[in-house]
């Protein structure tokens, strides 16, 4: 078995999933700004994102005792992979807990020229060199996120194909460097669209992605897919139940996702921690030919972040909240 295949399978080991802790400095500041005060239910702003505060927060998460029972890998940001915890590099610190280090390598989603409300993810320039460095720093896998909007006249074929092409080129460069690529085409929840519309767009998007992956000779046994669940838009007047979401999701994936893919690690995509857990449970109750797991960011972190609130005296409570949510999400994979 190849090293990449072993890594991919380790990331979706039974009852384990991935923690997405790859927020950019700008994004983590938004998270810090939205910490809710448990006593008043009001939002409080008091934490400034700096390399030091970002590391303090992530150290609180990574050092949680027992988290390796539920977390197989952590996606890191460029800043974090270069930092140290207790005298060890962050990847080495995670490795010593039996957790694989990964790295976000895209440069974010930007406006697609001539397509006003659609995005293209950038970051292919110099990616080969960056992957070489990240491998030396300890990264075993990588992540690239593409964003697909649903709206009037959207998504266009151009936007879907442009992002599918970028995902395939990224995946090829990762496998060239012996790094497992997580392929993340996210159909956003934003908008009033219903479950059926999300299903149609998700099917169209995934078909284009796998067509491009095949064109670029990607070994599908050495990747992971990180997709959205098929779910109603946030502003839809009819919100689908967990059972309806699970049925639509599995039907879609059986139609377009090849069985060679070892695992599907769902993104939470703006769902609450409870919603993301409930929907993953329903999806696993139906099941499929792949390991069905998670690669959650906010859905794993939100409760711990609220409990922590930047205060050292809250670390124990925050870690307990993090461990409890990780345990619940892990149980959803049963």
291 HSE (CA, 13 A, CB side):
21
Cα dist from 217 to 40, 172, 176, 204, whole Å: 55, 8, 11, 20
Among 97, 75, 66, 77, which Cα is nearest to 326's? 66
Measure the CA–CA gap between 60 and 51, rounded to whole angstroms. Answer: 14
Kindly state the DSSP code that residue 44 receives in the 8-state scheme.
E
Is 12 in contact with 263 (CB distance < 8 Å)? Answer: yes
Q: Pick the catalytic residue from 16, 119, 140, 226.
A: 226
Q: Is 226 a catalytic site residue?
A: yes
Measure the CA–CA gap between 330 and 214, rounded to whole angstroms. Answer: 32
Q: Pick the catalytic residue from 79, 184, 186, 212.
A: 184
Among 110, 132, 113, which Cα is nearest to 121's? 110
Is 286 in contact with 251 (CB distance < 8 Å)? Answer: no
Among 131, 76, 65, which Cα is nearest to 98's? 65
Active centre residues (catalytic): 184, 226
């Amino acid at each position: 078995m190849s090293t990449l295949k072993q890594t991919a399978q380790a990331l979706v080991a039974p009852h384990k999933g991935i923690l997405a802790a790859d927020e950019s400095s700008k994004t983590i500041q938004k998270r810090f700004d939205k910490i809710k005060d448990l006593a008043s239910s009001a939002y409080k702003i008091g934490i400034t994102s700096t390399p030091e505060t970002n590391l303090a927060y992530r150290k609180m998460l990574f050092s949680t005792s027992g988290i390796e029972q539920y977390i197989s890998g952590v996606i890191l940001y460029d800043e974090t992979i270069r930092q140290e915890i207790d005298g060890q590099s962050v990847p080495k610190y995670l490795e010593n807990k039996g957790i694989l280090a990964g790295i976000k390598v895209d440069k974010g989603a930007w406006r697609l020229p001539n397509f006003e409300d659609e995005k293209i993810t950038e970051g292919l320039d110099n990616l080969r060199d960056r992957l070489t460095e990240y491998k030396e720093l300890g990264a075993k896998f990588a992540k690239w996120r593409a964003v697909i909007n649903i709206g009037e006249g959207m998504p266009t074929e151009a936007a879907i194909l442009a992002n599918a092409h970028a995902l395939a080129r990224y995946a090829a460069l990762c496998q060239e460097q012996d790094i497992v690529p997580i392929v993340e085409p996210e159909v956003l929840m934003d908008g009033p669209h219903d479950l059926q519309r999300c299903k149609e767009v998700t099917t169209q998007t995934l078909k284009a992605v796998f067509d491009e992956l095949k064109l670029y000779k990607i070994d599908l046994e050495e990747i992971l897919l990180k997709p959205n669940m098929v779910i109603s838009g946030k502003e839809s007047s009819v919100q689908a139940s967990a059972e309806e979401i699970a049925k639509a999701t599995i039907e879609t994936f059986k139609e377009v996702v090849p069985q060679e893919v070892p695992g599907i690690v769902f993104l939470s995509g703006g769902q609450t921690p409870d919603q993301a857990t409930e929907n993953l449970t329903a999806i696993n109750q139906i099941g499929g030919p792949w390991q069905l797991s998670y690669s959650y960011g906010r859905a794993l972190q939100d409760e711990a972040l609220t409990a922590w609130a930047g205060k050292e005296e809250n670390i124990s409570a925050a870690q307990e909240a993090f461990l409890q949510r990780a345990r619940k999400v892990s149980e959803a994979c049963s």
